[in-house]
């Protein structure tokens, strides 16, 4: 008994020692691999305490005897390779999850030794090269995830040996070649995702052996040939193989099991009819068959689908009529069957579906009237396209119910009668196309209420009469206006000058007459005016000269370019310029009351655009500044002079004036870009950005009317010994934060992104509360594009990012650099020239006191921490390598959250 006990004890100890030894071997293997990775990861893995079994380490799971069965280091910031991962050291390993790291290099062939593996997840890493054929040795695998890597080459043939595998995910790699022919040997497969690779060839017929398959994703590859005709697994739920080159017919029994939910076969070369089995396929939620060559009569092909949300059958050769069954698909939100051969009427049942948002029946052979059910007041329709059919009748007045509608296209039908004025109630409309119908009458002035209209207003090729309603001038966002091929009469008034976003205007083939207004609006847009016998103006536009008016000449394009280009040429010559002492008559824009009298005749190519709450008389600005007398000059810069103008109304403005020289030529599109950029800038409203209230052009000079900012430039403030002391540490931090917010706004919240290009202490203005306001942006743009020797003139010396010395690419990161300089300048009270030299010359050990303005008392806690944060952010921003600079969004977030906790010393690695 006692001996027995001793023996047992002895055995136990021996066993424990063995186990301990093997556990130590496993631990050593882990450490060996860990040491090959980036240093910071998995700090809990350490052999310092030998009794510290690996079982307690992060991400490690052991069995009851202390042998490792699971390693889960998903999303653990691992960076390195698997080269020193000894797969043979873990004989009991069943689960290895290293997903969502940045591991690089090969998946080693040694992986084949981890034969107990059941789950292997290496997805979302940066693995390259081929999948090793040894993967086929992992015969116990149930789940293999290698998606989102850079794996290339073919899928190894050995993979078909994994007969237990239920999930195989190889999505988003660079795999090429064909599928293993006996892929169907993986009979247990339930989920197969091969999408977004470069795979080619046909679907092996062995796929019909997938008995339990429920998900197959093959989209975005180069597969061709036909899907095996008898492929009809009853468990199939998601079958997506769009964006390939599949041909042949769709398998008729594809929804035999009635379980199909997502079915995407779009963008292939499929022919033949819609599969029969789809009729009873009641669980369908999404069907995409567009862009194939499918044909057949669909009248009775589709059933009722209570869950269907999205169906696209467009761009095929389907015929027949639209079934009333569609009216029972209550969840349907997108219905598209455009570009087919569908005939018959639009069924009222279809168009009154409660969830419908996008209805596109365009380019078919539909006849009859547009059912009024379409215009129900409960409609949530966003897009409606019935164009290119044979629909007739009038447009119902009820169309005004579609309050959410953004895109309406009824063009190329046989619609007649007037445009109902109720259309003006569809105030969400962004594009409206009614061209190529038989619509008649006057263009209702209510269309001027469609202030959201942006991409298009096309009423061309109808029989509209009357004059262009002045109300259209309210469409300030409109970019394209086409009224051509109608019977529109009257003069071209200055009304349309309100359409400040217009890029293309087509007024050709109407009955317009009189002179073409001679101003920038008409020159900045591409205007087609042909076929209006009564119009007169410049010969180069194909017009006959106006009688008795030799002076009103539109400048030739080339001259116009000169004008605009010159806007941005810095004023090297002194500001003699203001030669226009005579007439100050301007084309004014007033959104509500268009000018009755045409004051344009005297001014030569003048125009003004206001974005202020009330109209400003330019004459008042001239009076207020005594014709831009030096007395009122509050700043002279490389690009122009700024004047302070106090109007009789009490409003105060800063007027920036550029004189234009006549040397350079710039392509027309750049002029348009420039004008539209200015326009975008004038709409910006941000606390830390100077507002532009107007801009205009007169007599060879360009004017910008800004908000007046009381304290002048930041540079001036910092240079003034007395004022600088007003700026205590708290205010300086506020200035840096405000700047960061303004730039973050320009870079990340504006579409398109606005890059300032010339951030300097001189371009930042300070209001009475010491809020900084960024001014003068966009001005440097044309200069860069128009001039070869541009680097010298874009931006301000001392603030220009170093990469601009050798690259033409001005990016947001250039602004980030300039911001860093300005931020340091705010802290130091002077430009950080010497600091920059210091940083370049030696391994830097900048201390906080080196970057603080000596004129102020040294900061105390807690503001010291914030100053450290600000200084370290500024240092990151002036990294020589633009990619290491933070984004303005990051900077601004950091300023807000104060989440940096750095030592007072800046580590050398801030300077790459
Ligand atoms: C693997 O685990 C079993 C118990 O499940 C154990 O007997 C065996 O020793 C372990 N292998 C190693 C090398 O630790
Ligand atoms: C794997 O590790 C990740 C990150 O450490 C963790 O979120 C996840 O819960 C772990 N999974 C398992 C199954 O332990
Ligand atoms: C990875 O971890 C980060 C935080 O460390 C977390 O924000 C992120 O959501 C995680 N991602 C995944 C896929 O678990
Ligand atoms: C790996 O871990 C991630 C994060 O916990 C998890 O989402 C994923 O499903 C795991 N992989 C496997 C195959 O279990
Ligand atoms: C991993 O790939 C991503 C995406 O291409 C890339 O941004 C990242 O720099 C790569 N990381 C490594 C360590 O290779
Ligand atoms: C697959 O890609 C590899 C490397 O990316 C290339 O060498 C090989 O020729 C490609 N094979 C095919 C069949 O395209
Ligand atoms: C659809 O179901 C009905 C009854 O449920 C049945 O009569 C019909 O044959 C089925 N059609 C197809 C194509 O399976
Ligand atoms: C369109 O329908 C008309 C009859 O309404 C028919 O004559 C014509 O052939 C059809 N066109 C096409 C392309 O189907």
DSSP result, 30-66: HHHHHTTS-TTS-TT---SSTT--GGGSTTEEE-TTS
The residue length of the chain stands at 912
Grade residue 111 by pLDDT with cuts at 50, 70 and 90.
very high
For ligand 3, is residue 77 a contact (CB within 6 Å)? Answer: no
- Read off the tokens for 413: 């039908």
For ligand 4, is residue 121 a contact (CB within 6 Å)? Answer: yes
Whole-number Å distance between alpha carbons of 172 and 194: 8
Number of Cβ within a 10 Å radius of residue 837 = 10
Per-residue 3-state assignment (H helix, E strand, C coil) for 501-554: CCCEEECCCCEEEEECCCCHHHHHCEEECCCCCEEECCHHHCCECCCCCCCCCC
Q: Is the pLDDT of residue 196 over 60?
A: yes
Average pLDDT over residues 522-536: 70
Grade residue 598 by pLDDT with cuts at 50, 70 and 90.
very low
Grade residue 477 by pLDDT with cuts at 50, 70 and 90.
confident
For ligand 5, is residue 286 a contact (CB within 6 Å)? Answer: no
Whole-number Å distance between alpha carbons of 882 and 876: 10
> Residue 871 has what pLDDT?
87
Instruction: Give the chain's mean pLDDT.
Output: 81
> Residue 850 has what pLDDT?
82
- Identify the residue with better confidence: 502 or 834: 834
Q: Tell how strand 68-72 and strand 95-97 pair up.
A: parallel
Beta carbons of 357 and 332 less than 8 angstroms apart? no
Q: Is the pLDDT of residue 305 over 70?
A: yes
Least confident of 138-147, 441-450, 857-866: 857-866
In this structure, the residue with its CA closest to atom 9 of ligand 4 is 121
Beta carbons of 888 and 816 less than 8 angstroms apart? yes
* Ligand 5: nearest atom to the Cα of 102: 13
Nearest bound ligand to the CA of residue 79? 5
In this structure, the residue with its CA closest to atom 4 of ligand 4 is 74
For ligand 2, is residue 74 a contact (CB within 6 Å)? Answer: yes
Nearest residue to 64 (alpha-carbon basis) of 26, 88, 29, 92: 92
For ligand 1, is residue 912 a contact (CB within 6 Å)? Answer: no
- Identify the residue with better confidence: 180 or 12: 180
- If you measure from the C-alpha of residue 75 to the centroid of ligand 3, how many angstroms do you get, rounded to a whole number? 6
In this structure, the residue with its CA closest to atom 10 of ligand 2 is 72
For ligand 8, is residue 451 a contact (CB within 6 Å)? Answer: no
Q: Is the pLDDT of residue 785 over 50?
A: no
For ligand 3, is residue 100 a contact (CB within 6 Å)? Answer: yes
- If you measure from the C-alpha of residue 190 to the centroid of ligand 6, how many angstroms do you get, rounded to a whole number? 28
> Residue 689 has what pLDDT?
87
Task: Give CA separation, 388 vs 4, 103, 339, 364, 730, in Å.
Answer: 96, 54, 9, 7, 65
Q: Is the pLDDT of residue 675 over 80?
A: no
Least confident of 309-313, 346-350, 841-845: 841-845
Percent of the chain having pLDDT more than 90? 48
Grade residue 522 by pLDDT with cuts at 50, 70 and 90.
low
Nearest residue to 569 (alpha-carbon basis) of 711, 469, 664: 664
For ligand 2, is residue 493 a contact (CB within 6 Å)? Answer: no
Q: Is the pLDDT of residue 901 over 90?
A: no
- Read off the tokens for 154: 């073919």
Q: Is there a catalytic annotation at residue 758? A: yes
Q: Is the pLDDT of residue 64 over 80?
A: yes
> Residue 470 has what pLDDT?
86
> Residue 724 has what pLDDT?
87
Q: Please state whether the peptide bond connecting residue 879 to the residue before it is cis, i.e. omega within 30 degrees of 0.
A: no
* Ligand 1: nearest atom to the Cα of 18: 9
Q: Which secondary structure element, helix H or strand E, spans residue 431, and what is its range?
A: strand 431-433
Catalytic residue among 758, 776, 815, 866: 758
- If you measure from the C-alpha of residue 151 to the centroid of ligand 6, how many angstroms do you get, rounded to a whole number? 11
For ligand 6, is residue 150 a contact (CB within 6 Å)? Answer: no
* Ligand 2: nearest atom to the Cα of 95: 13
- Identify the residue with better confidence: 315 or 896: 315
Average pLDDT over residues 479-501: 82
In this structure, the residue with its CA closest to atom 14 of ligand 8 is 341
- If you measure from the C-alpha of residue 365 to the centroid of ligand 8, how many angstroms do you get, rounded to a whole number? 6
In this structure, the residue with its CA closest to atom 13 of ligand 5 is 102
Q: Is the pLDDT of residue 603 over 60?
A: no
- If you measure from the C-alpha of residue 197 to the centroid of ligand 6, how many angstroms do you get, rounded to a whole number? 12
Q: Is the pLDDT of residue 386 over 80?
A: yes
- If you measure from the C-alpha of residue 203 to the centroid of ligand 6, how many angstroms do you get, rounded to a whole number? 19
Q: Is the pLDDT of residue 1 over 70?
A: no
pLDDT tens digit sequence for 628-669: 888 888 877 555 678 888 888 888 888 887 655 444 444 555
Grade residue 677 by pLDDT with cuts at 50, 70 and 90.
low
> Residue 567 has what pLDDT?
29
Q: Is the pLDDT of residue 426 over 50?
A: yes
Q: Is the pLDDT of residue 564 over 60?
A: no
* Ligand 7: nearest atom to the Cα of 276: 13
- If you measure from the C-alpha of residue 408 to the centroid of ligand 8, how many angstroms do you get, rounded to a whole number? 25
> Residue 342 has what pLDDT?
97
Beta carbons of 406 and 429 less than 8 angstroms apart? yes
Q: Is the pLDDT of residue 593 over 80?
A: no
In 455-496, DSSP assigns E strands to 456-458, 463-465, 480-482, 489-491
- Identify the residue with better confidence: 252 or 791: 252
In this structure, the residue with its CA closest to atom 8 of ligand 7 is 280
For ligand 5, is residue 881 a contact (CB within 6 Å)? Answer: no
3-state helix, strand, coil in the chain (%, to 5): 30, 20, 50
Q: Is the pLDDT of residue 736 over 60?
A: yes
Residue 327: strand pairing partners: none
> Residue 893 has what pLDDT?
82
> Residue 642 has what pLDDT?
81
Q: Is the pLDDT of residue 910 over 80?
A: no
Whole-number Å distance between alpha carbons of 702 and 693: 14
Question: What order do you get walking across the sheet with 222-225 strand by strand?
Answer: 200-201, 222-225, 245-246
- Range among 35-39, 341-345, 875-879 with highest mean pLDDT value: 341-345
> Residue 5 has what pLDDT?
55
Torsion sign, CA atoms 283, 289, 294, 295 = positive
In 308-364, DSSP assigns E strands to 310-312, 317-321, 334-336, 341-344, 358-360
* Ligand 3: nearest atom to the Cα of 99: 13
- If you measure from the C-alpha of residue 256 to the centroid of ligand 7, how many angstroms do you get, rounded to a whole number? 10
Whole-number Å distance between alpha carbons of 38 and 50: 23
Rounded to the nearest 10°, the torsion over CA 176, 181, 183, 185 is: -160
- Read off the tokens for 864: 């010291």
- Read off the tokens for 89: 């050291």
Nearest residue to 218 (alpha-carbon basis) of 236, 229, 235, 234: 236
pLDDT tens digit sequence for 431-443: 999 999 999 999 9
In this structure, the residue with its CA closest to atom 11 of ligand 7 is 280
- If you measure from the C-alpha of residue 82 to the centroid of ligand 3, how many angstroms do you get, rounded to a whole number? 22
Find how far residue 667's CA is from the centre of its chain: 27
> Residue 640 has what pLDDT?
67
Grade residue 416 by pLDDT with cuts at 50, 70 and 90.
very high
* Ligand 3: nearest atom to the Cα of 124: 13
Note the helical H segments in 576-720. Answer: 618-624, 668-683, 714-719
Least confident of 81-85, 235-239, 297-301, 778-782: 778-782
Indicate yes or no: pTM above 0.85. Answer: no
* Ligand 3: nearest atom to the Cα of 74: 14
Q: Is the pLDDT of residue 403 over 50?
A: yes
Task: Give CA separation, 298 vs 28, 79, 101, 331, 610, in Å.
Answer: 67, 55, 49, 21, 56
> Residue 796 has what pLDDT?
66
- If you measure from the C-alpha of residue 280 to the centroid of ligand 7, how many angstroms do you get, rounded to a whole number? 6
In this structure, the residue with its CA closest to atom 11 of ligand 2 is 72
For ligand 6, is residue 66 a contact (CB within 6 Å)? Answer: no
């Amino acid at each position: 008994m006692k001996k027995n006990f001793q023996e047992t004890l002895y055995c136990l100890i021996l066993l424990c020692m063995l186990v301990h030894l093997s556990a130590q071997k496993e631990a050593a293997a882990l450490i060996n691999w860990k040491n090959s990775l980036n240093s910071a990861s998995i700090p809990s893995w350490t052999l310092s305490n030998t009794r510290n079994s690996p079982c307690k380490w992060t991400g490690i799971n052991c069995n009851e005897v202390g042998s490792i069965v699971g390693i889960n280091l998903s999303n653990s910031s691992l960076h390195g390779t698997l080269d020193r991962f000894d797969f043979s050291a873990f004989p009991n390993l069943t689960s290895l999850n290293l997903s969502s790291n940045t591991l690089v290099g090969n998946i080693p062939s040694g992986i084949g030794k981890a034969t107990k593996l059941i789950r292997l997840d290496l997805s979302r890493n940066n693995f390259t090269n081929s999948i090793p054929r040894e993967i086929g040795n992992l015969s116990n695998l149930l789940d293999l995830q290698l998606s989102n890597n850079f794996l290339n080459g073919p899928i190894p043939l050995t993979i078909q040996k994994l007969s237990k595998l239920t999930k195989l995910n190889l999505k988003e790699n660079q795999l090429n070649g064909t599928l293993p022919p006996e892929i169907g040997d993986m009979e247990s497969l339930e989920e197969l995702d091969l999408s977004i690779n470069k795979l080619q060839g046909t679907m092996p017929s062995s796929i019909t052996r997938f008995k339990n398959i429920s998900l197959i994703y093959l989209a975005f590859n180069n597969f061709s040939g036909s899907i095996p005709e008898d492929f009809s697994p009853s468990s199939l739920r998601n079958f997506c193989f769009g964006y390939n080159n599949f041909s042949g017919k769709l398998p008729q029994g594809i929804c035999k099991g009635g379980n199909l939910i997502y079915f995407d076969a779009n963008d292939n070369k499929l022919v033949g009819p819609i599969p029969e089995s789809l009729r009873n396929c009641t669980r369908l939620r999404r069907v995409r068959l567009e862009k194939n060559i499918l044909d057949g009569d669909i009248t009775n092909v589709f059933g009722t689908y209570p869950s269907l949300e999205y169906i696209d059958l467009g761009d095929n050769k389907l015929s027949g009529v639209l079934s009333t069954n569609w009216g029972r698909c209550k969840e349907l939100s997108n219905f598209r069957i455009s570009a087919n051969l569908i005939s018959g009427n639009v069924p009222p049942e279809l168009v009154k579906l409660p969830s419908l948002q996008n209805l596109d029946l365009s380019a078919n052979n539909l006849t009859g009237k547009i059912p009024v059910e379409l215009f129900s007041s409960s409609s949530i329709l966003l897009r409606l396209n019935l164009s290119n059919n044979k629909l007739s009748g009038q447009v119902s007045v009820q169309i005004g119910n579609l309050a959410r509608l953004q895109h309406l296209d009824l063009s190329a039908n046989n619609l007649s009668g007037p445009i109902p004025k109720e259309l003006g109630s569809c105030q969400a409309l962004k594009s409206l196309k009614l061209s190529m119908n038989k619509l008649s009458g006057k263009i209702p002035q209510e269309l001027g209420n469609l202030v959201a209209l942006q991409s298009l207003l096309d009423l061309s090729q109808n029989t509209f009469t009357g004059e262009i309603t002045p109300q259209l001038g309210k469409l300030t966002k409109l970019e394209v206006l086409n009224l051509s091929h109608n019977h529109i009469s009257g003069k071209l008034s200055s009304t349309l000058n309100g359409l400040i976003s217009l890029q293309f205007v087509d007024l050709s083939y109407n009955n317009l007459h009189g002179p073409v207004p001679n101003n920038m609006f008409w020159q900045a847009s591409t205007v087609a005016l042909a076929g209006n016998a009564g119009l007169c103006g410049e010969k180069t536009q194909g017009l006959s000269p106006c009688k008795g008016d030799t002076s009103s000449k539109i400048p030739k394009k080339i001259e116009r370019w000169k004008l605009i280009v010159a806007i941005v040429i810095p004023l090297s010559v002194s500001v003699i310029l203001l030669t226009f002492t005579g007439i100050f008559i301007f084309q004014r824009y007033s959104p509500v009351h268009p000018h009755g009298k045409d004051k344009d005749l005297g001014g030569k190519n003048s125009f003004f655009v206001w974005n202020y709450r009330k109209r400003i008389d330019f004459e008042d600005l001239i009076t207020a500044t005594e014709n831009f007398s030096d007395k009122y000059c509050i700043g002279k810069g490389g690009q122009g002079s700024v004047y302070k103008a106090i109007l009789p109304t009490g409003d105060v403005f800063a007027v920036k004036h550029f004189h234009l020289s006549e040397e350079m030529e710039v392509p027309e599109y750049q002029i348009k870009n420039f004008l539209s950029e200015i326009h975008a800038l004038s709409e910006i409203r941000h606390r830390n950005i100077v507002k532009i209230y107007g801009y205009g052009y007169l007599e060879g000079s360009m004017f910008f009317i800004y908000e007046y900012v009381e304290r002048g430039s930041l540079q001036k403030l910092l240079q003034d010994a007395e004022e600088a002391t007003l700026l205590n540490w708290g205010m300086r931090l506020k200035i840096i934060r405000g700047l960061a917010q303004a730039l973050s706004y320009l870079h990340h919240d504006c579409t398109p992104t606005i890059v300032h290009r010339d951030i300097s202490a001189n371009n930042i203005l300070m209001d009475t509360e010491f809020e900084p306001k960024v001014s003068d942006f966009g001005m440097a743009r044309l200069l860069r594009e128009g001039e070869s020797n541009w680097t010298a003139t874009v931006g301000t010396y001392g603030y220009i990012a170093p990469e601009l010395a050798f690259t033409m690419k001005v990016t947001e990161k250039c602004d980030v650099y300039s911001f860093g300089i300005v931020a340091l300048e705010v802290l130091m009270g002077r430009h950080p020239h010497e600091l920059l030299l210091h940083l370049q010359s030696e391994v830097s050990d900048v201390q906080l006191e080196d970057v603080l303005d000596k004129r102020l008392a040294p900061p105390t806690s807690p503001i010291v921490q914030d100053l450290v944060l600000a200084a370290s952010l500024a240092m990151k921003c002036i990294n020589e390598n633009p990619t290491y600079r933070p984004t303005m969004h990051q900077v601004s977030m950091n300023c807000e959250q104060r989440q940096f906790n750095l030592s007072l010393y800046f580590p050398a690695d801030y300077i790459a």
